[in-house]
Structure 1
Amino acid sequence: MKTASAVVTLTNPVSVLEALRTHLAEHELVVEFDGQVASANLPSGHATMRIEASMLELEVRAASESGLEDVASFLASHVLEFAHPETPVIRWSGFQPSGTFADFREMKVVGVTELTPHMRRITLAGTDLRRFATDENLHVRLFFPAPGQPPVWPTRGEDGLERHIEPARQPAVRKYTIRRIDLVTGTVDIDFLLHRDPGTGSDWAKNAKEGDMIGMAGPGGRGAQPADWLLLVGDETALPAIARILEGLAPGTEGMALIEVESEADKLPLTHPRGFEIRWLHRAACAEGLAAAVSRIRVPTHRKHFCWAGAEFETIQTIRRYWKEECGVAKWNQLAVPYWRRGRPEGE
């Protein structure tokens, strides 16, 4: 178990701790408190907060360096928020004074493959990628260098937070799915949807060539939970995630994947269990939207089931309501995530 600690001088540590406790409780995290010491288990590790005179003593514990960083940055950012307008100094012991975040990797483009008229696969090479090889978390954050600028990557300061980067050199960050990872060769495949409209990730992928550098951090973003019957729903933006989920299913899994693409040319070969049905919706030939198609699928809730969806924001809202109100799918048996929002630039 890794540990780090910090002593923060505050005018009113009691009010800051109370705000922290309230915030944690609002996110359904159990906080134990004896009047002086508060402790809580966070998703990435454990946090202890102790009141001492005009100070707040912070201690974090986690199984990994990245987990330690997650908890430390969470506490630091919220102490600064709740202490405002006071600006206390936070210095963690247990970390190097500054450095690259444990979950960050610099990656190099080593391959470019055209998959469909609107999908391009970029193969990236890096080191120490084992943390990314998990089916529990499918997504990564990609850091795109500012146009015309050499890459500048995020680094951690003494307070555990990301150091400031001047706006002109600040990399843009977008979330993408790891389509495939090979620990032997140290490579990952990321499939990019090539949009007609300008977009950070799409524009980068259109011009990517071998030798280009990009940053990668993570992983994050849940996949589908194991089930006897599974429903996967999405448009092109979710196609890489659906393809990866299908490949990882147990042989006897049954269910359906409903995928909306522009036309026949945008279909991809998918590997899936024999009992799985794949349905493609061609936007160019069918006026019916994805949500309407989902509304005709009855979920067999008498079986161990799970429903997963990734698509446009309003479509996802409609699908969520249908699964909950019409099918009776419990919230722990579904995951519906907006991958984009109509009228907003890619990734915003």
Structure 2
Amino acid sequence: MLSARTTVAFPRIAAFLPAILEALAAHDMPVTPQDGTFVAASPFGEALLTPGREHLGIHIRAATGPELNRVRHAVTGLIGFVAKSEALRIVWEGDEVGPTFPPDLRILTVRNIQAITPRMRRIVFEGEDLARFETSDQIHTRLLFQPEDVTIPEWPMLDDAGLIVWPGGAQRLGSRVYTIRRVDAPKGLLWIDFFDHGGSGPGARWLRRAVPGDVVGALGPAAHGPKPARRILLVGDETGLPGIARILEDAPDDMEGLALVIVADESERQLLRMPKGVEIRWLLRASPTLASEQKPLSAAVRALDWSVDQRDLFVWVGCEFHDFRAIRHFLRDEAKLPASQIVAFSHWRRGMSEEDIIAIGGDAVAA
């Protein structure tokens, strides 16, 4: 068993600890409290976080070098992102293994591409050893896109500082997070629905030129799957639609509930498979009734009947940041739904790229 430790000077640890633990759990590292220490377990190893008055002690353990660096990277990256404003200095001591390939990196090859709607493309990928992606509670993956001029793909590595070592010493690989629409591990197939929002980010550029035989890297899975419940409320825009579709397809036959989905117009509606007890309502931005609404998705959530007992309800929300923030505020502060019954997150933020969000850190998603 390999291990490494660090003690991080962290004057405001009490303010940031809940968000750090939540981020770890969302990225396939569920946390268990143990006598003043929080144990975050992952498929690669574990991290023990012991908060002090103005510091945070971290001890990580794993069976192999690649797994140790994977845990080290996850802890370093998530804490650094959540507490970006604190400019923390995280220096590890203990076992050093040198740069290693991420043990959860899978290479996927485009098998075919299908147009689902005018702006939604479904890509079926082929790959090996995809069983780790076949999970219902971790439904996202980070894809790595090779530059257009690369003929021999190169992939990042993880070092003993918990940082990514990019090919050529620079981040030439673009990356974005997507919902895994479906997985068939025995057949080595993985489906992802891409929404072409018209932007110029690495995912959008890759999507427009993608052809069968192209390769991408996939890391994960992570984050934001559904929780068991008798009733569901699913809320999202085009970026949340793949997750909503997957949750509905995987739901038990006796599930009851409602899905609220906002899309541009009639052409972006999809025929979804779902239990008979679940209704889907399509909100169309092009319709005159929504044209004057500043936050039509949030308004649709507010308009529901929240006077009935909600103890058997689970709510899943995936959409643009400002809509997400308004909906989460309503659910927690006005509808009084406990956090254990909510999974809510923003897929994107209007006017900001992922690089902008990373530069700001946790404030960009928690403001």
TM-score normalised by L of structure 1: 0.81
- Aligned-partner residue type, residue 264 of structure 1: E
* TM alignment of 1:18-97, pairs within 5 A: 19=9, 23=13, 26-28=16-18, 40-44=38-42, 45-47=45-47, 60-61=60-61, 68-73=68-73, 92=95, 97=98
* Deviation for aligned residue 1:210: 0.8
Q: For residue 49 of structure 1, report the CA deviation from its aligned partner.
A: 9.1
Q: Structure 2 residue aligned with 1:279, among 281, 290, 303?
A: 281
> Following TM superposition, by how much is the alpha carbon of 1:235 offset from its aligned partner in structure 2, in angstroms?
0.5
CA deviations on 1:41-61 (whole Å, 9 max, x unpaired) are: 1243544699xxxxxx98533
Work out the CA distance in 2 between the residues paired with 1:90 and 1:210.
45
Q: Give the 5 Å matches for 1:163-182.
A: 163-166=165-168, 170-182=172-184
Q: Is the 8 A contact 1:65 1:102 kept in 2?
A: no
Identity %: 36
Aligned to 2:155: 153
In structure 2, the residue corresponding to 1:216 is in which secondary structure?
A: strand
2:350 is aligned to 342
What CA distance in whole angstroms lies between the structure 2 residues aligned with 1:58 and 1:295?
42
| Aligned positions, number | 321
Shift of 1:313: 0.9
Cα distance, 1:330 vs. partner? 1.2
1:308 alignment partner in structure 2: 316
User: Any conservation in 2 of the 1:24–1:31 contact (CA below 8 Å)?
Assistant: no
Partner of 1:327: 335
* 8 Å Cα contact 1:230/1:307 also seen in 2: yes
| Residues 104 and 273 of structure 1, relative CA distance in 2, 3 Å threshold | same
CA shift for structure 1 position 344: 2.1
Q: After superposition, give the CA deviation of every residue in 1:148-181 in whole Å (9 maximum; x if it has no partner).
A: 2343211123455422444665211110011011
What corresponds to 2:190 in structure 1? Answer: 188
What residue in structure 2 maps to residue 118 of structure 1? 119
Partner of 1:36: none
* Paired position in structure 2 for 1:245: 247
The 1-side partners of 2:261 and 2:149 are apart by 37
Distance 1:250 1:63 in 2: 37
Indicate conservation of the 8 Å contact 1:194/1:202, yes or no: yes
1:66–1:338 Cα change, 3 Å = farther
Work out whether residues 237 and 261 of structure 2, in 8 Å CA contact, stay in contact via their aligned partners in 1: yes
Which secondary structure does the structure 1 equivalent of 2:329 belong to? Answer: helix
In structure 2, how many angstroms separate the alpha carbons of the residues matched to 1:18 and 1:71? 17
Deviation at 1:125? 1.1
In structure 2, distance between residues paired with 1:142 and 1:222: 17
Which residue is equivalent to 1:200? 202
- Correspondence 1:5 to 2:3: yes
From 289, 294, 300, give the equivalent of 1:293: 300
Distance 1:21 1:66 in 2: 31
Q: 1:42 to 1:208 in 2, by over 3 A?
A: same
| TM-score computed with the length of structure 2 as normaliser | 0.77
Partner of 1:12: none
Structure 2 Cα separation of the partners of residues 115 and 256 of structure 1: 22
Residues 64-111 of structure 1: per-residue CA shift (max 9 Å, x gap): 9876444333566789x8558xxx685626x5x443111111111111
Is the aligned partner of 1:223 residue 2:225? yes
8 A contact 2:108–2:215 mirrored in 1: yes
Cα 1:172/1:263, change in 2 over 3 Å: same
Instruction: Name which one, 1 or 2, has greater alpha-carbon Rg.
Output: 1
Corresponding residue for 2:216?
214
Specify the code of the residue in structure 1 equivalent to 2:304: I
Q: Gaps spanning 5+ residues in structure 1: where?
A: 8-15, 34-38, 51-56
> In the aligned structure 2, how far is the partner of 1:195 from the partner of 1:275?
32
Higher helix proportion (structure 1 or 2): 2
Quote the offset at 1:119 in angstroms: 0.4
